[in-house]
Copies of this chain bind each other. A is one copy, B any other.
Amino acid sequence: MSHSIKDVALRAGCSIATVSRVLAGKGYISDEARQKVEAAVKELGYRPNRVARSLRAQRSRVIGLVLSDICNPFFSEISRAVERVAVRHGYTVLICNTDEDPKREEHFLKLLEEEKVAGILLSPTRASAKSLDSSILPPLVLFDRKVAGKHLDSVVIDNEEAALKLTRHLLAGKHQKIAGIFGAKSYTASARIKGFQAAFIGAETRMAGIYQVPAFEAEGARIMAEILTNEPLVDAVVCSSALLATGAYTTLRQKGPHLLEAGGFVCFDDPSWASFVEPSVSVIRQPATTLGEAAADLLMKRIVDPTRSVSEIVLRGDLIERGK
């Protein structure tokens, strides 16, 4: 068993209040007491118990990060940024994978409340409105996605604009029929679909189907194969995330290289290979690190001042034009 503040007090020959004050560095302390306490702390290798601290303070130095898939490079980049900012402010990060499942999301939000975390960063699933008002939650900042009808701190990317930009870029080529592959269930996907559709207004190129599948590589590969057989006239594809794009690209390499050679493939998220395949593929690069940092910063501010006015930050994706 490790030592408690009592042991330190005993050793330093003072009361636990004095020890606590020395540790916290506030209140009046004589030099003599300070030195004795510091010596005792060192000798015993005393480390304060954060659980006790949290209980007393009614708030811990932990923040919760609730996201749908830490293996998605977009989210892992965000996690990294969040962790950095948190550590800089003396917080640690509790990570929760929802897999886009509202049940799991609700479970985690409750859990985090029970853990008395100082704040929560959440990229909500479609159906999360309910879980949000059902209980008294700690300070909360949304990232990547918003919740309809809720006025909350948030940091998102203008997905509609980005998808519009990306699709228009494709439209500038001479493709006849463009299909779109998007993630299922997410706010993000809907926004991108809107932008995708908007790009066709007044354009000659015809839009083919809009496909929504769970955001995994295998799903991207599967749906791409399906499109290739069901809609043989499709000669261009917009892909809504690195994971889906990687899967779709693999399929295209095998079963639709003509499409790739004609530059008919673009996607979100700048996967590493996009720059070195031939021809290289144009992408929307999402500022994931900036997003993660902004969201974490916002949360820190919200924790310090719960009454501050709501911030809704919108970032823009960058179109990186490639294609040989």
Contact = CB atoms under 8 A, between A and B. Distances in A.
Interface of A: 1-2, 45, 47-52, 54-55, 60, 62, 69-71, 73, 76-77, 79-80, 83-84, 87, 92-97, 110-111, 113-116, 134-136, 217, 246, 249-250, 253, 271-273, 275-277
Contacts of A113: 2, 47
Given A51-B51, A115-B51, A70 B70 contact: yes
8 contacts: A2-B113, A51-B115, A62-B94, A70-B76, A70-B79, A71-B76, A93-B95, A277-B277
A77 B135 CA distance: 32
A50 to B, nearest CB: 5
A92 B96 contact: yes
B97 A83 contact: yes
A253 B276 contact: yes
B271 A249 contact: no
A135 B45 contact: yes
B110 A97 contact: no
B70 A97 contact: no
A281 to B, nearest CB: 12
Given A69-B80, A79-B70, A273-B272, A50 B115 contact: yes
A157 B94 CA distance: 27
B80 A70 contact: yes
Given A273-B273, A276-B250, A276-B253, A80 B84 contact: no
Contact of A80 (B71, B111, B135): B71
Nearest to A90: B111
Given A47-B135, A250-B275, 13 more contacts: A45-B134, A49-B114, A62-B94, A70-B80, A76-B76, A79-B95, A83-B95, A87-B97, A93-B95, A95-B95, A249-B276, A250-B276, A273-B277
B71 A77 contact: yes
Contact of A83 (B52, B70, B77, B276): B70
B50 A116 contact: yes
Contacts of A55: 49, 51-52, 55
A66 B158 CA distance: 34
Contacts of A273: 246, 271-273, 276-277
